[in-house]
């Protein structure tokens, strides 16, 4: 395989992975209430928590199940999936 063919192949793989990542990140646009506060998007909550992995996991769980009650973390409730 030539160098240019490898580059083209890698670019197609990257584009496919970006599409998959976008589809799997629907929770970023969903609205959540944290500790009974005013609803805000998953993206805003994640940004306010500096992208903390445990917050990301909690938001994904709340998106899947409707709520998250964690240890040493405020409860998170899904308000709308938008």
58 neighbors 47 (Cβ within 8 angstroms): no
In angstroms, the CA 82 to CA 75 distance is 20
Q: Global pTM?
A: 0.71
Q: What pLDDT, on the 0 to 100 scale, is given for residue 18? A: 67
24 vs 66, which has greater pLDDT? 66
Who contacts 82 (Cβ-Cβ below 8 Å, separation ≥6)? 29, 30, 31
Find the helix or strand (DSSP H, E) in which 9 lies.
helix 3-24
Asked whether the beta carbons of 53 and 68 are under 8 A apart, the reply is no
Give the count of domains, the chain: 1
Q: Which domain holds residue 62?
A: 3-80
What is the band of 16 on the pLDDT scale with cuts at 50, 70, 90? confident
- State what percent of residues in the chain have pLDDT above 70: 93
Residue 22 pLDDT greater than 60, yes or no = no
Predicted pLDDT at 19: 66
């Amino acid at each position: 395989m030539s160098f240019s063919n490898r580059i083209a192949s890698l670019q197609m793989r990257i584009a496919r992975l970006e599409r998959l990542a976008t589809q799997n990140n629907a929770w970023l646009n969903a609205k959540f209430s944290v500790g009974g506060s005013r609803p805000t998007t998953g993206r805003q909550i994640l940004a306010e928590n500096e992208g903390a992995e445990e917050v990301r996991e909690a938001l994904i769980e709340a998106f899947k199940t409707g709520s998250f009650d964690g240890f040493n973390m405020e409860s998170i409730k899904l308000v709308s999936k938008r």
